Chains A and B, each alone.
Chain A
Amino acid sequence: MTEKKSAEESVGIPIGVPILLYGPVGSGKTTFSLRMAKEFLGRNLPLIWVCLDESPLNIRKKLSYFGVDNENLEKKNLVRYVDVYTEYVTGKALDEPYVLNCSSVSDLTEVNIALNTARKELKGGGLLVVDSVSTLLLYTNADICEKFLRITTGRFKSDDYTGLFILQKGMHSAEVEETMKMIADAVMGFEVDKGSWKVSIIKKPLTQKTAKLLIGTGNVLSEAK
């Protein structure tokens, strides 16, 4: 069995499919993505994390809460962060070999080039996380965001990357939310109800196994240390 197939079987996330993670703030979308990152990295499948909301250093720290050995994985050339956050928000770019810096959200060509560089530098298909589509939408508009996501999902799908695209519920108009859901092949809904997390499948395809693993449970999220 290939590693990719193994990831699909055991994690239940289909390989090579763009998935929209949709839910309100604090409903576990980023945590789910971190958990998935651990699963992929654990199978030597690479991770590309596009940072718009927080610094790669923060994501790195959060990954370590899940027991991810960042230094080892970076040495194995399995991780790249496309950093659209640090320079734009703090004025100074990071200087780390595993980070590809982008100066501003206004140049999405630069972001696309960084994504392609990351894809070329890492071997094989893996996991792409865009955190978050909401921030991209706020800086740009629905048309630009849709174009960018269609380019990105098309390229990464052909390389067997699973894409996790994070969208905040209630931050955009219903029309914009629907457009974003149309772009993704699958949509997972996240919510918090009476203190527990709930994950539902809004749009297929997701495997039967994913449904069994995730619907109505918070087990994916409870593994954080």
Chain B
Amino acid sequence: MRFYIDNKKMKPDELIANEIMKNLKEALEEVTGSKGAAKAIANKIGKNLGVMLAEKNKFRTMKEAISFLEKNGLMTVNNLKTGEEIEVVAKNTVESVPGSDLPLCWFIGGILSGIAEKLESETYLARELKCPEVGESACRFIIERIRI
């Protein structure tokens, strides 16, 4: 069985995950009274999850981690570049909202930076950019070391 949300075809579990994340973000924004704080909390939750996933699954590379995220339906990855900074171009993430040009993958960004932190033993943060050349639901994540 498949459902449709904003013209996007989704399996029931994808729909539930998408709705949970959407509602959680709205609730965080309501409680904190600020979109900035809500995004920061969501990112922190995602980061903790990313660290936990990397530990439990003993990822040795980002490629292994990405493959795990894909298998579990969190995203479809079009491109992965590693180096000083890590770049992930993903489509249909579990948080994506078709037609939106806002960076909405707050949890996914956190998960990716959490995995990078565990792999590199440094503090990372993901920046999400829209990637229209890959498709309207595509996101480019730049996961970079926090510089001070």
Residues of chain A at the chain B interface (Cβ within 8 Å): 25-26, 51-54, 85, 88-91, 103-109, 112, 132, 134-135, 138-141, 144, 147-148, 151, 168
Contact = CB atoms under 8 A, between A and B. Distances in A.
B37 A53 contact: yes
A115 to B, nearest CB: 13
Secondary structure of the B contact surface, majority rule: mixed
Given A90-B103, A138-B44, A139-B43, A107 B147 contact: yes
Nearest to A148: B148
14 contacts: A25-B33, A53-B32, A53-B37, A54-B35, A90-B103, A91-B128, A91-B130, A106-B124, A134-B40, A135-B40, A139-B146, A140-B146, A144-B146, A168-B37
B82 interface: no
B40 A138 contact: yes
B66 interface: no
Contacts of A139: 40, 43-44, 125, 146
A25 B31 contact: yes
A199 B31 CA distance: 22
A140 B123 contact: yes
Interface string B25-60: 000000111111101110110000000000000000
Contact of A91 (B33, B123, B125, B129): B129
Given A89-B103, A91-B101, A104 B40 contact: no
Contacts of A144: 123, 146, 148
B8 interface: no
A107 B39 CA distance: 17
A53 B124 CA distance: 20
Contacts of A140: 123, 125, 146
Given A25-B32, A53-B34, A138 B41 contact: yes
Nearest to B129: A91
A135 B147 contact: no
A54 B123 contact: no
The interface centre, meaning the residue of B124, B129, B130, B148 with most chain A CB atoms within 10 A of its CB, is B148
A134 to B, nearest CB: 7
A53 B37 CA distance: 5
Interface centre among A104, A139, A141, A144 (most CB of B within 10 A): A139
Contacts of A103: 127
B84 to A, nearest CB: 13
Nearest to A84: B36
